[in-house]
Every structure is written in C-alpha cells, then in structure tokens.
C-alpha cells in the first residue's frame, strides 16, 4: 500500500496546459456558448442572398457548393478591387501587436484568435497565400496559407466573435480598422450562405416589414398606445403621437428594440413624452413611421448591399412624407451607418430631394454636422434644447440614481458623440460619476453583444466580452455607489442588463431619455408618485 502514490501527487500529474503550437496549427474548436445558430434558409432566401441552405456549425459538412473556393476567391478579388481601404489593410499590417490586447473578447477570454491582429490574420494569411506572388511561392514562410474547409470554419467562428466595435483601431499606428476586415470576412461568408440567424432573420424582417421583429404597423401602434396609457397613469398627460403624417416637420426613427424590449421601452416612453412636451409648448410636429420603423441596420453585419437596402428605407420614407429632416433615436449602429457609410451608399443626392439642413425650429440651432445626412441624433437635439433652457427639468426626481455613462461604441467612436449625452445626463440627474480613463469615450469597451451577437445561445461569449465594461462599472459601483448605467444604444440596453446581472447585480441599465422624461415637468401635470418604471419617486416611498 505504501507504494501507491498520494492523491495529490496523482492530481499534480494532470496537466491542464494547452499544447503549444503555432496559431496556424491550432485547429478550430467550435464550442457551444461561443457561437450563434446558423441562419434560417428562409430568411436568406427572402433577401435573395446566395446558397440559402440548412446547416449546423457543429456538423462536419456545412453544405458548401462544389465551387466554394472559387466563389470566395472571386469575392475577395472583387472586394480588394472595390474597397481601397480593405486592400491597404491587407497589405500594411506589420503585426506590431498594438491592437492585440485591446479587444474585449481577447481581454475576457485569453483566446489568441480574438486578438484583432490575429483575427485579421485569419483572412490576411489566405490573401497572402492565394493572391500574392511572394505568398504563393514562399507560403507559410511569409505568413501565407491555403483556403481549406477548416480555414473557412475558423473564419466563420472568429468573424462572428467580433462585435466590430473598433476599439482596436484606436490603437493601431497605421489606422487599420480591423472591424472593416471582419465586415468583409462576413460578407465573403455570406456568399456561401453562412450567416447567423440572429442577423439574417432580423434583416429579412426589416426588409419585408420594416423592423427587426417583423412587427406589423397595427401592432407597432398598439405598443405605442400601451406606452401612452402608462404615461397617462403616471403623469396625467396623454401623448398623442402622429404616425406617417405627411408634411410633419420631423420624421423620428428609432430602433424597434425600444418599442419591444425592457428597459428600452422606458426610453421609448421618454421620447413620447419629450415630443408631447415640445408639441404642447412649441408646436413641434414630429411623426413616427410604421414603414421605416427600425433605426437599427443589421444589414451592416451582413454585407454592404443589405446595409444599403435597409438604410434607404428611412430616406425613402422621409421623402414620401415630405419632412424637413430626420431625428434619430438612441441607437448604435444606425448611427455608424448614417455617419460613415450612408453618403456613399445612398448618396446625398438621393436622400436630399426635399429635406433641408436640419435646424431646430425651437432654438434656431443649425446642425451643420448633419448637413449631408439630414439626420440628427436625439442626444444632440435634447442637449440643444436644454442648453437654450427650453425644457423644465426637475433633477430631484432622479435623486435615487447615481449614474455612470457607457459610451456606446458606434456613437462614441463612430461619430464622436461624447459630450452631448453627458451634458443631458448631468442636466437630469444629481449624481454622475464617469468610469476610469481608458474604459470610456473613444476607448470605451463594447457591451459584448454588438454586431448581431446578442443571441441567447452565445451567452458565454457575451459574458466574456462584457467583462471589461462590467469591471469598470463594478469599480465605480464599489468606490462611488453608482447604481445605474446609462447608454444611447438599443443593443446596449438589451445586452447590458444580463451582463450587469452576472457581473455587478446592484447596477441597472437605462437609456438617456428615460431619465430626461422622469425629470421633465409638464405644465398642468399631476403630482408624480412613480418614475416610468412604476417605482416610487424619491420622497414618495411612504405615501
């Protein structure tokens, strides 16, 4: 008996260290919890995208067409020719590693293929190996490799583990936008019908019905009616929003998530109250559309072509209704598309037929930054109203809230909207504390579920990706007593509640206009006892 090894000694011999190998030799291991389900072929078909078929990422056979390599090569060649940025990004990376530790998915997982440099290298290595003379001759010696089914699977797995947040690009000395590499990578995968369903089905719904959930016009109006009932109960004021009104001053477009998912619904109630206030006080005429009922643009996560198709509907609707300009709600990627892509997708000539350079009729402010797009972010709009003293606000109603601000990637990094939301927030809450430097503003951490990754089945990925953001929230919660995380993005409002529940359960999530509406004092309103969530206002607890 005495010769038997001790349990501890036996245990010590179990080695959990992953084998060391060059990244090209580490085979892709598709793990449940990190990937989203394959696209429903009906949705792919509806959009006329190629090779709609049923497939499962865990199967060996992904149902690829016989000439799949040729399709990818042709697609890659076309895009190298069409997008100069992409061609440059393929050629100029010196693999300095400045971006390597900046991705929230790498920071949270430690998976090297989530380092932006390596994620891009997945595609770049094939470009080198198949498209450059040097790479064709020297192969792996110069970082080139051939396109095999395993390489394709690796592309799919990791390009759908990137939320296209562009934090990595902030640190690249060459200005390489790795998100653009992901965008092209996904576009190539779509040529083979390899999308995920959390993107493909919302895109099909949006294309057909006008919003991601496929909500029909009457149901959309029903939902907004419910909100008006609740607002009336809380404030005694019943908003009377208009829909599809020709000749209105402004068309309002917001992500449908605000209409159907908490806590976005409270933000939506906030919009309704703000517009009602502006109508009663200043005669502002804002209309909602049941056709362009989606600000979000998941086409952006599919291909440039689908992004263009979905983006156009807002402008077609604005043209049809004859409004002066468009006011956009609290959305993330809608703004990235509008700000960075729209001008070359649908062009100013197309969408400026009848619209004017946006100006706020109440304050006279001209939004010159939106001269081309004709579209103003609601945080800019509200900040302008507050700056000119046009809103009667009572901060005390938000006295139980200690707010910190999550800069949403697309609005912060994508369009530089850093000060306006903070200005509005500080005007409506008494306690505001920013998270530490390096975690906010242009260096903000992604929520972990952007770019179509907020599916239920990839929760581990979202939790890992959400860790750096949650870690900074935890810090201000523990140090300063922060209990609310504000943001201006519907995806954030969908992703962050679960992330907070897991990492910092004492902190809730809200949109900006929920706070604005809580503080907004209507002339003649009844004394409010609760906030928009139906929770007692500070000082009303015992009454």
Partner 1 sequence: MELQKFLADNQHSLCEQWAEAIIKTYPEEGAKFFSGSSNQFANPVGNTFRSNVERIYKILMSDADICDCSVDLDGILRIRAVQGFTPSVALCFIPALKEIVRRQLGKSVPADQVDALIHDWSIRVDRLTMIGFDLYMNCRELLWKQKANQLYSRTHKLLEKANLLKDEEVAG
Rank residues 391 and 464 by Cβ distance to partner 1 and give the closer one: 464
173 vs 389, beta carbon nearer partner 1: 173
DSSP state of 157: H
Indicate the SS3 state at residue 242. Answer: strand
Binding mask 468-507 for partner 1 (x = CB under 8 A): x--xx--x----------------------x--xxx----
Write down the least CB distance from residue 457 to partner 1, Å: 8
Closer residue to partner 1 (CB): 386 or 461: 461
Is the distance from CB of 452 to CB of 198 less than 8 angstroms? yes
Stretch that binds partner 1, among 3-11, 119-127, 167-175, 276-284 (CB under 8 A): 3-11
Show the tokens assigned to 105. Answer: 């998915």
Is 538 a binder of partner 1 (CB under 8 A)?
no
Quote the least distance from Cβ 468 to partner 1, whole Å: 6
Q: In the complex, what is the shortest distance from the CB of residue 522 to partner 1, in angstroms, rounded to a whole number?
A: 28
How far apart are alpha carbons 179 and 185 in whole angstroms?
Answer: 10
Of the pair 339, 413, the CB lying nearest partner 1 is at: 413
Kindly state the smallest distance separating residue 20's Cβ from partner 1, in Å.
5
Site for partner 1 in 32-91 (CB under 8 A): 33-34
Q: Which of 311, 439, 444, 518 binds partner 1 (CB under 8 A)?
A: 439
| Per-residue interface string for the shown chain with partner 1, residues 7-36, x marking contact by CB under 8 A | -xx-xx-x-xxx-x-----x----x-xx--
Q: Kindly give, in sequence order, each residue whose CB lies less than 8 Å from that of residue 340, ignoring residues fewer than 6 positions away.
A: 414, 415
- Kindly determine how many residues on this chain lie close enough to bind partner 1 according to the rule CB under 8 A: 41
Q: What is the CA radius of gyration of the chain?
A: 25
The one among 44, 64, 93, 115 contacting partner 1 by CB under 8 A: 115
Q: Give backbone dihedrals phi and psi of 141, rounded to 5 degrees, phi first.
A: -60, -30
The residue (of 28 and 71) whose beta carbon lies closer to partner 1 is 28
Cα 352 to Cα 349: distance, rounded to the nearest angstrom: 5
Q: 90 to 109, contacts with partner 1 by CB under 8 A?
A: 100-101, 106-109
Omega before 263 within 30 of 0, i.e. cis: yes
**Residue 295 corresponds to which tokens in the numbers above?**
């600000």
Residue 247 phi, psi dihedral angles, 5° rounding: 85, 5
- Cβ atoms 509, 496 nearer than 8 A: yes
CB of 167 to partner 1, least distance (A): 11
Nearer to partner 1, 2 or 133 (CB): 2
Binding mask 448-467 for partner 1 (x = CB under 8 A): --------x--xx--xx--x
Give the phi and the psi of residue 458 in degrees, each rounded to 5.
-110, 40
CA–CA distance, 127 with 76 (Å, rounded to integer): 8
Q: Give yes or no for residue 211 binding partner 1 (CB under 8 A).
A: no
Q: Which of 39-47, 265-273, 431-439, 532-540 is the region at the interface with partner 1 (rule: CB under 8 A)? A: 431-439
Query: Which is closer to partner 1, CB of 117 or CB of 425?
Result: 117
Cβ-contact 492, 515 below 8 angstroms: no
When the beta carbons of 498 and 518 are compared against partner 1, the nearer one is 498
CA–CA distance, 328 with 339 (Å, rounded to integer):
12
Produce one character per residue of 105-121: b if its CB has 16 or more CB atoms within 10 Å, e if not: bbbbbebebbbbbbbbb
Q: Which of 427, 385, 418, 417 has its CA nearest to residue 286? A: 385
Q: What is the DSSP string of 396-447?
A: GGGTT-EEEE---HHHHHHH---HHHHHHHHHH-SEE-PPPTTSSGGGPPP-
**Whole-number minimum distance, CB 460 to partner 1, in Å?**
5
Distance (Å, whole) CA 518 – CA 530: 9
With binding defined as CB under 8 A, does residue 119 bind partner 1? no
Binding site for partner 1 (CB under 8 A): 8-9, 11-12, 14, 16-18, 20, 26, 31, 33-34, 100-101, 106-112, 115, 219, 436, 438-439, 456, 459-460, 463-464, 467-468, 471-472, 475, 498, 501-503
């Amino acid at each position: 008996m005495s010769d038997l090894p001790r349990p501890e000694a036996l245990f010590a011999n179990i080695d959990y260290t992953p084998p060391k190998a060059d990244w090209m030799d580490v085979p892709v291991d598709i793990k449940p919890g990190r990937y989203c389900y394959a696209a429903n072929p009906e949705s792919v078909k509806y959009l006329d995208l190629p090779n709609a078929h049923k497939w499962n990422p865990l199967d060996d056979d992904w149902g690829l067409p016989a000439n799949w390599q040729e399709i990818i090569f042709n697609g890659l060649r076309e895009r190298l020719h069409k997008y100069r940025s992409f061609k440059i990004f393929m050629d100029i990376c010196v693999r300095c590693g400045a971006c390597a530790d900046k991705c929230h998915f790498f920071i949270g997982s430690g998976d090297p293929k989530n380092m932006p440099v390596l994620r891009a290298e997945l595609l770049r290595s094939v470009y080198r190996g198949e498209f450059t003379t040097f790479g064709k001759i020297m192969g792996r010696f110069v970082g080139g490799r051939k396109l095999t089914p395993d390489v394709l699977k690796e592309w799919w797995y990791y390009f759908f583990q990137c939320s296209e947040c562009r934090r990595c690009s902030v640190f690249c000395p060459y200005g390489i936008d790795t998100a653009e590499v992901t965008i092209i990578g996904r576009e190539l995968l779509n040529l083979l019908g390899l999308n995920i369903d959390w993107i493909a089905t919302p895109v099909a719904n949006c294309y057909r019905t006008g919003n991601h959930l496929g909500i029909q016009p009457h149901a959309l109006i029903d939902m907004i009616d419910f909100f008006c009932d609740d607002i009336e109960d809380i404030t005694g004021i019943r908003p009377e929003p208009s829909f599809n009104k020709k000749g209105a001053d402004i068309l309002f477009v917001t992500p449908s998530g605000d209409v159907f998912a908490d806590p976005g619904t409270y933000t939506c109630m906030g919009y309704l109250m703000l517009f009602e206030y502006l109508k009663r006080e200043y005669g502002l005429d804002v209309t909602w559309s049941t056709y362009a009922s989606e600000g979000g643009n998941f086409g952006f996560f599919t291909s440039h072509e689908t992004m263009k198709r979905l983006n156009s509907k807002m402008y077609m609707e604005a043209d049809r209704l004859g409004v002066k300009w468009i006011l956009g709600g609290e959305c993330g990627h809608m703004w990235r598309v509008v700000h960075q892509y729209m001008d070359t997708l649908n062009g100013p000539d197309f969408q400026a037929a009848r619209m004017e350079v946006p100006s706020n009729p109440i304050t006279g402010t001209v939004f010159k930054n939106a001269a081309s797009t004709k579209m103003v972010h609601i945080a800019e709009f509200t900040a302008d109203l507050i700056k000119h003293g046009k809103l009667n606000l009572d901060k005390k109603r938000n006295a139980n809230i200690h707010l910190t601000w999550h800069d949403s990637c697309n609005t912060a990094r994508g369009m530089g909207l850093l000060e306006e939301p903070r200005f509005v927030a500080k005007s409506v809450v008494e306690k505001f504390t920013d998270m530490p430097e390096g975690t906010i503003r242009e260096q903000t951490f992604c929520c972990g579920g952007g770019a179509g990754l907020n599916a239920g089945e990839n929760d581990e990925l979202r939790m890992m990706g959400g860790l750096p953001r949650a870690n900074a929230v935890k810090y201000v919660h523990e140090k300063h007593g922060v209990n609310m995380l504000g943001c201006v993005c519907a995806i954030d409002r969908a992703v962050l509640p679960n992330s907070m529940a897991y990492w910092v359960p004492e902190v809730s999530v809200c949109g900006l206009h929920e706070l604005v509406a809580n503080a907004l004092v209507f002339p003649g309103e009844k004394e409010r006892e609760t906030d928009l969530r139906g929770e007692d206002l500070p000082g009303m607890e015992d009454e």
